[in-house]
Structure 1
Amino acid sequence: MDDQIRIPCVMMRGGTSKGPFFLRSDLPSDPELRDALLIEIMGSGHPLQIDGIGGGNSLSSKVAIVGPSSREGADVDYLFAQVNVLERIVDTGPNCGNMLSAVGAFAIEQGLVAAQRGETRVKVHNVNTGKIIEARIHTPEGELRYQGDAAIDGVPGTAAPVYLAFLEAIGAKTGRMLPSGTPQEIINGISVSLIDGATPVVIARAETFGLTGSESALELDGNAAFMAQLEDLRIEAGRRMGLGDVRASVLPKPVLIGAPLNGGSLSVRYFTPHACHTALATTGAVSVAIAATLPDSLVGAALPELRFPADLTFEHPTGRMDVRVELNEEAGGQPVVFVTRTCRRLFEGAALVRRKN
């Protein structure tokens, strides 16, 4: 008898992240059994994830689970799972906008959504947050194409563009843009803005830590005193945002903002949360963009001349990310954020897991 079980999966790059994509029907419905399976598949509990398919980095230890939509008005469900590298833990609390950028293409190829001529719009229900995001996929002649001329920093070469419209990008976890009720407050002597957009973030000015906001990810990760201070700040921010004790959670995500060096709107450093992202998470960019619509937030104060609709450029450790912010007057001026990403199907086959006796 074969002592391993084969679970169909597709390895995909979405934006600046990558990981296996599964059909929901191919995994256990029980969350505990599902998470145990994902931990084994990814090889967590080892820094290299040597006995699994994870990449030994938080950006390549991500999983997408896709199935028919359980919500009216959406085409598919997408559950994101962040699988910890060093610890055997799975966190389905956050969303990942980069992995999200590959969901539409995966859904089309798996037959969950029919491709349209020119462009296919896939409304994705993010199960983690309950929000709907529209992915606009390049499908000339009614066929999916991955090759194209769009380039995003943090990924070599070019690919077909994927446009993500965050239609409900307010209150991903708490239901409120300002979970603590104010656009700016003091935690541990540091001015912060606690924003719940596409993901909950605690935003601070880099200068309050004696930094510029343009440091490399490696430099920030190596600053042990700063990282400890940032974690203390994050823990208190989580409490004030109504997220409880967040020591074992990846939410909220810390964000530093600083003056741009290369003509952008802001320099942004986003943390995952215990390491600096080598680029910028899509959900983080969306949340910072939403904060820009609040004049009294730290982001709004840093961009006093901003008028909407607005195109913003965030400088990150490996380049730039462009976002567009519009105010939906029909929804009372609610912000809608558009982000351009790319994706690619990398490998298809089956993940092998040990058969339990």
Structure 2
Amino acid sequence: MTETPHQSSLDGRLIRGGTSRGLYLTPGELPDDADRRDEALVDLFGTPDPLQIDGIGGGNSHTSKVMVVAASDRDDADVDYTFGQVGIENAVVDWSGNCGNLTSGVGVFALLSGLVDPTPPETELTLYNTNTETFIDQVVPVADGRPAVHGDYRVDGIPGTGARIDSYFRDPAGAVTDELLPTGDRVETLTVGGDTYDVSIVDVANPNVLLRARDLGLDGTELPADLQDPDLLDRLELIRGAACERLGLVDDRRDAADERAAVPQIALVSEPQSFTTAGGERVEATDLDVTARIVTTQTPHHSYATTGAMCLAAATHLDGTIPAEFARPATGTDVSIGHPKGTITIGVESSAGAGEPTIDRVRVGRTARLLVDGEFYYHRASE
């Protein structure tokens, strides 16, 4: 971190991880005081502004993210990381959840920064996410002593192909609320503006509020532009806020956008359906297990949030939930979810118990790539 009479700067790396992009840096680059830290990040990303034109944000939730990464002092992890979702129109940073897409870039950053020594052809490392106190085993391909970039793995929502990075999230249930089903119910009813909505609130990797697309007059195959209806987004935020109230995360649902901007996520679920993606490609219902659309920080996601996909995939294994109502009967561990850019496949390892099933592990394959390495400038944070 460097300060001048005019601006401050920090050293970091801009990395595309999965279908998200974020700033990765080590803890010493940020002010120690939490308020000054958040003020610096809000300014750096150009918030509050829907375009984030005076910062490095891209005007949407999947490009307004930060990862703080350090070598771990733990005996059972190589790297600790903390995720922050930087607001766009609200000058806040939400540190309460995790980001599955950007998790794929943590190992890349760790290798590039010398936090972990590269071991060809693949480096295996264990990550510890401080937000959710969970462990992730990750496999990063290595070429010429650096994280590999080129490969034949395709992620829908990203042009071209890249080297596949596999992340295995251990014991991901109750990541934020300590419970797989935080309210104890597989389906419950929330009342918003005199209307009632059935929802499943499930916490795997991040808590999610899952509801039927048809209950909002949607068919479930809408593209993000179709969901950019202020009345619809306001209604979804009130439903999400009501869930926050139900979980005890906020006292007033109207405060959820400021106090709990990123989690829980909210998603619209429907049966496997054929549809045309935002890129004009055809997805066939026969290739899907479930169809869904997710909204993050009050913005329709251009593809699908990875932690949301993990939660949705796990929920299809829980009889009686809304996702299980729509999902094709499981024939293995993989769950294929149809989203606006195509599909995402999540591996779910679960086991039966005396009570609720146990979600032992979820797996996701992503690609990641370094975009920028250098100094990032922001107005000096207030003293």
Identify the residue that residue 108 of structure 1 maps to in structure 2.
Answer: 111
Whole-angstrom distance in 2 between the partners of 1:26 and 1:275: 29
Identify the residue that residue 246 of structure 2 maps to in structure 1.
Answer: 240
Whole-angstrom distance in 2 between the partners of 1:157 and 1:98: 17
Whole-angstrom distance in 2 between the partners of 1:50 and 1:333: 45
2:135 aligned counterpart, secondary structure: strand
Contact 1:49 1:56 in 2 (8 A): yes
The alpha carbon displacement at 1:140 in A equals 4.6
User: After superposition, what is the alpha-carbon deviation per residue over 1:13-62, rounded to whole angstroms, capped at 9, x for unaligned?
Assistant: 01111121111122222211211111121111222222222212221111
**Alignment counterpart, residue 310 of structure 1, candidates 312, 333, 344:** 333
> How is 1:76-91 mapped onto 2 (pairs within 5 angstroms)?
76-91=79-94
Contact 1:97 1:283 in 2 (8 A): yes
1:9 aligned counterpart, secondary structure: strand
C-alpha distance 355-232 of structure 1, shift in aligned 2 (>3 A): closer
> How is 1:331-342 mapped onto 2 (pairs within 5 angstroms)?
333-342=358-367
Identify the residue that residue 278 of structure 2 maps to in structure 1.
Answer: none
Contact 2:290 2:328 in 1 (8 A): no
2:378 aligned counterpart, secondary structure: strand
> How is 1:1-357 mapped onto 2 (pairs within 5 angstroms)?
3-140=6-143, 143-188=146-191, 189-222=196-229, 224-245=230-251, 246-248=256-258, 249-250=260-261, 251-260=263-272, 261=274, 262=284, 263=286, 264-303=288-327, 305-307=329-331, 309-327=332-350, 333-355=358-380
Percent identity among equivalent residues?
Answer: 36
Contact 1:184 1:192 in 2 (8 A): yes
Amino acid at match of 1:60: T
Note the residue ranges of structure 1 that are not aligned, 5 or more in a row. Answer: none
User: After superposition, what is the alpha-carbon deviation per residue over 1:278-335, rounded to whole angstroms, capped at 9, x for unaligned?
Assistant: 100110000011111211111122236224x4211101011110111112689x8433
In the alignment of these two chains, the number of paired residues is 355
C-alpha distance 298-139 of structure 1, shift in aligned 2 (>3 A): same
Whole-angstrom distance in 2 between the partners of 1:267 and 1:213: 7
RMSD: 2.1
The alpha carbon displacement at 1:181 in A equals 0.5
User: After superposition, what is the alpha-carbon deviation per residue over 1:183-204, rounded to whole angstroms, capped at 9, x for unaligned?
Assistant: 1112222221110111111100
1:271 aligned counterpart, secondary structure: strand
Whole-angstrom distance in 1 between the partners of 2:73 and 2:58: 31
Contact 2:15 2:371 in 1 (8 A): yes
1:49 aligned counterpart, secondary structure: coil
Note the residue ranges of structure 2 that are not aligned, 5 or more in a row. Answer: 275-283
